[in-house]
Every structure is written in C-alpha cells, then in structure tokens.
Amino acid sequence: MKEEQRSLLLSTTSRFPPPPGVKLSYGTAGFRADAGVLKSTVYRVGILAALRALKSESVIGLMITASHNKVSDNGVKVSDPNGGMLSQDWEPFADALANAPTPEDLLRLVDELTANKGIALDGTTSLEILVARDTRPSGESLLEAAKLGIESVIGAVASDMGILTTPQLHWMVRARNNGEKASENDYLEQLSSSFKCLMDLIPSGNENNQVGDKLIVDGANGVGGEKLIVLKEMLKLKGLTIEVRNTGKEGGVLNEGVGADYVQKEKVVPNGFGSQDFGIRCASLDGDADRLVYFIVPSKSGNNIELVDGDKISSLFAVFIKEQLSILKKEGGAKLSEDYPCRIGVIQTAYANGASTDFLKQLGLEVVFTPTGVKYLHEKAAQYDIGIYFEANGHGTILFSEFFLLWLKTTNNELCSVAKGSEQQKAASRLLAVSRLINQAVGDALSGMLLVEATLQHMGWSINQWNELYRDLPSRQLKVKVANRTAVVTTNAETKVVKPPGIQEAINVETAKYPKGRCFIRPSGTEDVIRVYAEASTQDEADRLANSVANLVDRYLGVRSS
C-alpha cells in the first residue's frame, strides 16, 4: 500500500473508533443495530464497498437501512455488481473490518485483503459506489460516514443517490453495470411501461371480473409510500385507484403498528385501517419497501385480518407464468422453429406454510428450500430458467435466465412475423413484460405489487378468490429474547437445531403432541432474538405449540421477554 493511501486510511479511521464492547456481524441483511453505535461500522463498510468495487471493476451499492426494524435502529448493506447481495465469501472480511479494534488493525486487514484478492490501490482506476438511505432520521449522518469510508480508498468515488427504497438502489447498480439507463426516473419508467403493457394484454371478455377497482396501501410510514405516490402519478391508471396510507407524512412512526412485518407477524390490521375497508384489497409495504403482503380487513370491528402472504404471492405468480408457458407451447398454434424446455423452480424457506408447498407441488412445480434470507433464495432461484422465490414475509421476486429471455425474445419476434396478435404471441409478450416489471436484482415491494395487480386483472380474481387458491394451515410466530442468540445453531434449511444439545429432541416431543404439528426455531439475523414458528391443524394448537416451544427456548437459553 502506498504511503499516501496508508496515511489517508489511518487519519480517517481514527475519527471513527468502534464503540467499546460492541461486536457486530454481517447477518441476514448486512449489519443492524441501534443507530447510536453504527457510525464506525458504516464508515468501515464504506471501505469494504470501495474495495469490492475495485476488485470487481464495477459499480457497487451501499444502502443505509434497517428495513423492518424499529426506527431507532439502522443498518448497512452492500449491493454486488449484479444488484444482488454482497458475495458471501466477503462476509467474514466485513465482520473482521467492522470489529478491528485500532486503525493499525484495520490497515493490516486491508493489506491482507488487497494482497489476497490482487486489488491494486494505486489510483489508476476510478470506480463509483452508489449510496442511498431510507427515511430514518439517523440515515443522514450515517451516510456521511459511509462516504468518508469510500473516499478514504484512493480510486473510489461515492455518488449520493439520496432517499431510495432498498430495491431501487439494487436495481440502479445492476442497470449501471449492464450499461442501461439507471436513474430513479428510469426505474419508475420501466415499472410503469411494463405494467401498462401487461394491462393492455388483459384477455378480452374479462371486463366483468371480480377484481375490484381499489387498492389501499400501507406505506409503513417509510420510503415506499412516498415513492408509490410518484409511481401512481406516472401510471395514470384507468379502472384502478391506489390510495396510500401511512406515508410518514401523517405523523406516524416508521414500522410502529404498521408495515408488512407487523401485519404478517401479528396478523392484525395496521394503524389507519379498519372495518370500513372491508371488501377492499389492502397491501402493506415494509420500512424500505422490499417486502409486500396483502390482507383483507374484518367486516366487523376487531383486529384480526385474513393475511395473503408471500407464499400466496408466489403461488399467484406461479399459476400465471405456468398459464403463459402452456399457451405459448399450445398444440394447434403457430409452430415454433425451436422449442425450449423451460425449467421453473419455486424457492421457499421453512416459514412457508405447508399448504402452499403442497399447492405448488400439485401444480407440478419443483419446490426447493433454503435458509431464511433472500441472499440464499436468490442464489438458488438463479439456477432455473424461471426462478420464483418468496419468503412468507413477502420478500421475493422472479428471476429469468438470460438464456430463456433470449429464446423468448427470438420466439416473440418469430411470432410477430407469422402470428402477430395471436394468443401465443400475447403470452410471449406478457412473459417479456413480467421480466421487465419484476425486479431482477432483488425482492421489490413496488414492482411485486404492480405484478400482483396485473395478474389479478388478468385472472379476473378478487383478493378473496386469490386467497382461496389454498387454505393456510394455522400458524403462529413468536420471538424470545435470549442472552446469546448465536448459541442456537441450525441445519437442514433451519428445520433442525444442532446446538444447544437436547433442545431439538424436546421440540420434537412437543410437536408430536399436535396433529399436523410442525415447529422450528432459529436465531434472527436482524434482531437480538430467537424466532419460533409453529403450524398445526387449529389456531389454538398452533398457539399452544409455539408457546410451549418458546418456553423451552427460555429454559435452555435465557430470559423470555415477548
């Protein structure tokens, strides 16, 4: 490392000493903690992002967000050149860098990494890191720390993209590296034009459908609501009204009693919604708009909603895509000069409701499981021609392989010359529009929502009809505060605990008491808790199973708090 670089790093690092006694790790979605202890971590992730950009010779992203966590928390994560999560082999370095006690230790780590990865810190190249933040009040100063981290690496330049949803930033990074237009306006344009294309292709005769012309969206008092208001203007929708509540402008607090995580975990109406909304399709975004769930409010006063979660979104998309593929290849249509055996995979986690897995399998689809965290689901989905991945919490997207997209474009051109306007050609156009609408970089609540809306219009289904695709098995989620969440180690896509010894056997004994019982525990990657998930044939049994296992966790690991 040249002297100029060494002294730059030493002088800036000494301005950001790590808080004593705090040890953070790059978890399910980057570093998350109380915003008050994060400055040094965010500064160091700036250095990490700069090194990643120099190594990959590409644009990299850095997002300041704690997504669904409470407003006083914040976090930071890195977007790789393809718009996906940071390559997992860089995570140990992220941990080491974040926890290096002194500037000299940090310098030694940078030296080791640059030597290992062959990164030249000689300033001969200049690479850009796009930085953005959500609406958290702590975001502004943390973003400044990130910029300083980035610019303490010679050859790295920070571009401040302002307040964005997390998926917008990931989308921009991907677009920049693909040489495509990559501004926020380009993102909104792409979403609105592909949505309009899908709406123009709604089958005729679908006019008397049951969909309902109103959608009410809970913006979690975060960035998603704001962006949706802009998007809504661009869409100039006919026959669909979108009302946005909890935009953050009405005085509500981010993620407090609102948002996709609250709605999905508690299964109750968010603030600002009530029985007056009965019969209207409702949706909820999370704090940084990467998760989406739908819900139906109760007809009478009372709080319990009918949740239409990520598994249902996945199932709706699977039905729609399967239908388009079979129209495309239908006997009696124009003969395609080349066939392509499109492989579809649906990726789920242990949280997926058992009924959704059965439904997808009955559709004839391949269903595979990964641990929680889109970084795992995304990686698996990328192995298919069409990989549909959603976590039950509403985080997910659909990936199209380059190879399949190339075939689809060629087929569409071919059909346009021999059978323009045919059902087959429309099916090809719909699939192409889906690939442009749904975010190819990462799960995105806004693009997912538009695809749900277009799909419901296509099918002519109300939210109730969609919800009735299958009936969820009753389930319950709880969280348990423990002294040390890393004491729980799991295997088999988080369905079995290997540490501490004995607890899995105890969970098995509890689970066996309930018909159709299923239960697992896992350490959260974003909060200081152990999560408990239970499923059974009645709600009462699911509740009892979850409670008894939460007591077990408490007994084995610490103090039960919620």
Catalytic residues: 67
**378 forms part of the interface with ligand G16 (CB under 6 A):** no
**Is 544 marked as binding a ligand?**
no
What is the nearest approach in angstroms of ligand G16 to the Cβ of residue 391? 5
**431 forms part of the interface with ligand G16 (CB under 6 A):** no
Residues ≥6 apart with Cβ < 8 Å to 170: 61, 63, 79, 83, 84, 439, 441, 442, 444
**Is 522 marked as binding a ligand?**
yes
| List 284, 314, 370, 372, residue binding ligand G16 (CB under 6 A) | 372
What is the nearest approach in angstroms of ligand G16 to the Cβ of residue 23? 18
| List 26, 526, 546, 552, residue binding ligand G16 (CB under 6 A) | 526
Count of chain residues binding ligand G16 (CB under 6 A):
18
**41 forms part of the interface with ligand G16 (CB under 6 A):** no
**525 forms part of the interface with ligand G16 (CB under 6 A):** yes
What is the nearest approach in angstroms of ligand G16 to the Cβ of residue 548? 21
141-149, 321-329, 508-516, 526-534 -> range binding ligand G16 (CB under 6 A)? 526-534
Q: Is 422 exposed, middle or buried (0-12, 13-18, 19+ CB in 10 A)?
A: middle
Residue with tokens 């998760």: 291
| List 286, 444, 472, 494, residue binding ligand G16 (CB under 6 A) | 286
**151 forms part of the interface with ligand G16 (CB under 6 A):** no
**Is 526 marked as binding a ligand?**
yes
What is the nearest approach in angstroms of ligand G16 to the Cβ of residue 352? 12
Query: How far, in whole angstroms, is CA 338 from its chain's centroid?
Result: 35
**Is 550 marked as binding a ligand?**
no
Q: Calculate the alpha carbon distances from 351 to 79, 182, 348 in Å.
A: 25, 34, 8
Q: Which is nearer to ligand G16, 385 or 391 (CB)?
A: 391
Residue of 262, 268, 306 whose CA lies nearest to 286: 262
| List 309, 391, 510, 541, residue binding ligand G16 (CB under 6 A) | 391
What is the nearest approach in angstroms of ligand G16 to the Cβ of residue 196? 29
**395 forms part of the interface with ligand G16 (CB under 6 A):** yes
Q: How many CB atoms lie within 10 A of CB 228?
A: 24
**Is 46 marked as binding a ligand?**
no
Three-class secondary structure assignment of 104-167 = HHHHHHHHHHHHHHCCCCCCCCCEEEEEEECCCCCHHHHHHHHHHHHHCCCCEEEEEEEECCHH
**284 forms part of the interface with ligand G16 (CB under 6 A):** no
Residue of 36, 33, 8, 22 whose CA lies nearest to 103: 8
Query: How far, in whole angstroms, is CA 558 from its chain's centroid?
Result: 30
Edge-to-edge strands of the sheet including 127-133?
Answer: 31-34, 73-79, 60-64, 127-133, 156-163
Q: What DSSP assignment string belongs to 464-481? A: HHHHTTSPPPPEEEEEEE
Q: What are phi and psi of 487, to 5 degrees?
A: -70, -20
Q: Which is nearer to ligand G16, 5 or 255 (CB)?
A: 255
| List 348, 393, 397, 425, residue binding ligand G16 (CB under 6 A) | 393
What is the nearest approach in angstroms of ligand G16 to the Cβ of residue 314? 14
**527 forms part of the interface with ligand G16 (CB under 6 A):** yes
Separation CA 535–CA 541 (nearest Å):
8
Q: Which is nearer to ligand G16, 221 or 393 (CB)?
A: 393
| Site residues, ligand G16 (CB under 6 A) | 28-29, 67-68, 286, 290-291, 372-374, 391, 393, 395, 524-527, 531
